Every structure is written in C-alpha cells, then in structure tokens.
C-alpha cells in the first residue's frame, strides 16, 4: 500500500499521537488497545503498545520497528531526515512518502517552506511528532490527541522508561507544535489536544519543568 491508500481511511475519528515523553510512565499501554494510535520512532514498542501505526523520519528506526512488529504499518520519508539518503530496499509494512524539504531543523515552518505541495507528501519537522500529526490529519482525524509530547521533564525524567535519551530543545519543539496545531486546523479543520494522565493540572505533586523554566 502507498500513502494515498491511507488518505481519509479514518475520517472523522480520533487519533492518538504517541511521543516518548515521561507522561507515558503514568499511563497503562492497555488504555490504547481500542484506540487508533500513531507512535513516533520506538515509542510504541518501548511503551508496550499492541496495535498502532508507527511514524519515523529515520530509516533505521523504521526498519527495526517493522521487523519487531510485523502487524503494524510503518511510515517513513523516502529521503531520510537529516541525511537526504534515499530509502533502500522494500519491506511490505513500510510506507514511504515524499517531502518538500528533508532537513528543516530549527527553521521548520509548516505555514510556508516546509509544507508539502504534492498529494503524496507529508511534512517533516524538527521532531518526528510533527510528521505523525500530519499523518493523522491526512488519515482524516477530526481530533488528534498528543501523548508524551511533553516538551520538558516530568518527575525529573525527559523520556519514558526504557527510551534512549534524546534532544531537549524544549522551547523549539513547543513552538513548532503550536505551529503544527494551527496549520492542521487551517488545512484540515482538525483539532489538536493533549492527554493529561493526572486528575488535574497540579499533576498530583509530580514536578514538571518545561521550556519556560528550564532555559
């Protein structure tokens, strides 16, 4: 199947987009068993999810996820983020797609230069979660619920247990998430929310340090 086969496949539904933030430590993977989900990179497998799509702008991560779980479809750009290397070989569960730009980095702008101009393209942002959000909207999601897109540390941790430590450019990622939220509304009338695993925003005493108080 190609990317076009997934267009509006889940029209009007709610799709959860799963990042790698420590929020996941306060959730059960069983919560997502009956929900449509797109996990970024290794988030789904590390978290122990059973049924999900996978999105990664890294070819090696995509191949590993496809090999680890043969029942999921994995989406990855034809030209790898950061290297522009073309995807080599063929794996039935890996869906490749075109992009307008391959390495936007800190200058990511979904309102202009980085937004796709072809029907079979998805956006590539400074983080894989931006492309996963676009994929969800492309699939027809009415609502996107972000999970683990923390843009900060929770309980003193940057990532869910078992996930490799990564970049911590929280202010940049938060700004780009807001840009993507607005762009998906403008193009798809798709609304973006975030899942809070606690009873309210006091976070049950768990400390959160985000872009505003880290930098």
pLDDT at res. 213: 56
Q: Is the predicted pLDDT of residue 88 greater than 90, yes or no? A: no
Picking from 13-17, 118-122, 128-132, 194-198, which range would have the lowest pLDDT averaged per residue? 118-122
Residue 170 — very low, low, confident or very high, per pLDDT cuts 50/70/90? confident
Residues facing 191 on adjacent strands: 143
Across the range 125-142, mean pLDDT stands at: 95
Whole-structure pTM over 0.85, yes or no?
Answer: yes
pLDDT at res. 69: 85
Print the domain residue range for 131: 3-207
Where do we find the tokens 């950061």?
Answer: 82
Q: Is residue 9 in some structural domain?
A: yes
C-alpha–C-alpha distance, residues 153 and 174, integer Å = 13
Tokens of 128: 């894989």
Across the range 11-24, mean pLDDT stands at: 97
Q: Is residue 51 in some structural domain?
A: yes
Q: Give all strands (DSSP E) within 56-131, no chain letters.
A: 74-77, 94-97
Q: Is residue 212 in some structural domain?
A: no
Share of the chain above pLDDT 70, in %: 95
| Mean pLDDT over each residue of the chain, to the nearest integer | 91
Residue 53 phi/psi, 5-degree rounding, is: -85, 160
Nearest Cα neighbor of 40 from 101, 150, 143, 130 is 130
User: Could you give the number of structural domains in the chain?
Assistant: 1
C-alpha–C-alpha distance, residues 49 and 33, integer Å = 7
Q: Is the predicted pLDDT of residue 215 greater than 60, yes or no? A: no
Q: Is residue 213 in some structural domain?
A: no
Helix, strand, or coil here: 103? coil
Q: Is residue 215 in some structural domain?
A: no
Q: Is the predicted pLDDT of residue 4 greater than 50, yes or no? A: yes
Nearest Cα neighbor of 104 from 134, 75, 74 is 134
Q: Is residue 14 in some structural domain?
A: yes
pLDDT at res. 114: 87
Nearest Cα neighbor of 73 from 6, 166, 173, 154 is 6
Across the range 43-58, mean pLDDT stands at: 94
pLDDT at res. 214: 47
């Amino acid at each position: 199947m190609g990317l076009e086969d997934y267009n509006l496949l889940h029209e009007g539904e709610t799709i959860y987009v799963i990042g790698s933030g420590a929020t996941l430590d306060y959730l059960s993977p069983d919560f997502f068993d009956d929900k449509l989900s797109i996990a970024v990179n290794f988030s789904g497998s590390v978290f122990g999810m059973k049924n999900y799509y996978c999105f990664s702008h890294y070819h090696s991560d995509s191949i590993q996820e496809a090999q680890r779980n043969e029942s999921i479809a994995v989406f990855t750009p034809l030209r790898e983020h950061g290297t522009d290397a073309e995807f080599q070989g063929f794996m039935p569960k890996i869906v490749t797609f075109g992009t307008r730009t391959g390495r936007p980095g800190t200058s990511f702008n979904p309102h202009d230069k980085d937004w796709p101009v072809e029907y079979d393209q998805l956006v590539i942002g400074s983080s894989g979660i931006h492309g996963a959000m676009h994929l969800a909207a492309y699939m027809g999601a009415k609502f996107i619920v972000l999970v683990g897109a923390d843009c900060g540390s929770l309980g003193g941790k940057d990532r869910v247990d078992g996930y490799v430590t990564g970049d911590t450019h929280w202010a940049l990622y938060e700004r780009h998430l807001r840009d993507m939220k607005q762009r998906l509304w403008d193009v798809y009338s798709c609304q973006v929310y975030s899942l809070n695993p606690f009873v309210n925003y006091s976070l049950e005493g768990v400390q959160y340090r985000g872009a505003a108080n880290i930098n």
